[in-house]
Amino acid sequence: MSSTGIAAGKDALEPLELVRSFVNTKRLSKHRDELEETGSLRDWLAEHGLMDVAEPVSEGDLRRAHDVREGLRALLLANNGEPLDRAAVERLDRAARRAGLRPRFEPGTDPVLEPDASGVDGALARLLAVVTRAVADGSWERLKACPLDDCLWAFYDHSKNRSRRWCSMEVCGNVAKARAYRQRHAAHS
C-alpha cells in the first residue's frame, strides 16, 4: 500500500521488503506511527520473525528502533539523490554498534551476518544484515524514499534505468510538479 492508500502490491524484492516495511511504519502523510509504544515495536518485530514476542522492550529500545528507521530513511533519500542527513546516519551507526553484527561461517554455505545481541538490538541487527546483503548484491540502490516532505514513503525502483523519483507519479509526482509550476509562475509575477 502506498502512502496514499492506493494498493500497490509488494513494492520491493525480498528480503528488502522487510526493510521497506520497517521504514514505512511511520506514515507522515497520515500522521501515524505504527511503532509509537514499546508493545507495538515488540509486536511488529515478532510478527516479522525478527525476535520472540516474549522478549522485553524498553523505552531505550524504542528510541533506537526509531533511530534505525530514520537513519535508513535518510539513506533511502540519499539513494534518490537527496542530501544525506548525517545526524540520522550517525544515530543509525550507534544503534548498529550495539548489535555487533559478525560473520558466521559454515562449511558448504556462504557466510551470513548474525547479531551478537539478542532482543530488540538483535532484531535491528537482522534488519541491517539485510541492508548489507542488498548493498553486496546491488539491489540496495533501488530502494529509495519519496522526496516529497510530507510523504517520505520507501519504495523499490523497478524502472529499467533506475530513475524513478516518486513513490507514486499519480500522487506525489503530480503534487511536486504542481508546486514547481506555482513557484515558477510566482517568480514571474
Residue pLDDT tens, the chain, 189 long: 333 332 344 556 788 999 999 999 999 878 899 999 999 999 999 999 999 999 999 999 999 999 999 999 999 999 999 999 999 999 999 999 998 899 999 999 989 899 999 999 999 999 999 999 999 999 999 999 999 988 999 999 999 998 899 888 777 877 767 776 677 777 777
DSSP β-bridge partners for residue 144: 155
Residue written as grid cell 516474549: 54
Tell me what pLDDT residue 21 has: 97
The crossing angle, in degrees rounded to 10, of helices 86-99 and 59-79 is 130
Residue 186's pLDDT is: 75
Neighbours of 173 (CB within 10 A): 16
pTM of the model: 0.86
Hey, what long-range contacts does 42-48 have (CB within 8 A, 24 or more apart)? 42/120, 45/120, 45/123, 48/18, 48/21, 48/22
DSSP secondary-structure letter at 12?
A: S
Query: DSSP E strands: which ranges in the chain?
Result: 26-27, 32-33, 101-104, 112-115, 143-145, 154-156
Q: Could you tell me the CA-to-CA distances from 89 to 65, 69, 75, 78, 170 in Å, in that order?
A: 13, 10, 7, 11, 30
Domains of the chain: 16-188 (1.10.3300)
Compute the distance between CA of residue 113 and CA of residue 124 in angstroms, rounded to an integer. 12
* Whether the Cβ atoms of residue 132 and residue 143 lie closer than 8 Å to each other: no
CB 26 within 8 A of CB 52: no
3-state secondary structure of 117: coil
What does the radius of gyration of the chain's CA atoms come to, in whole angstroms? 18
Q: Is 45 helix (H, G, I), strand (E, B) or coil?
A: helix
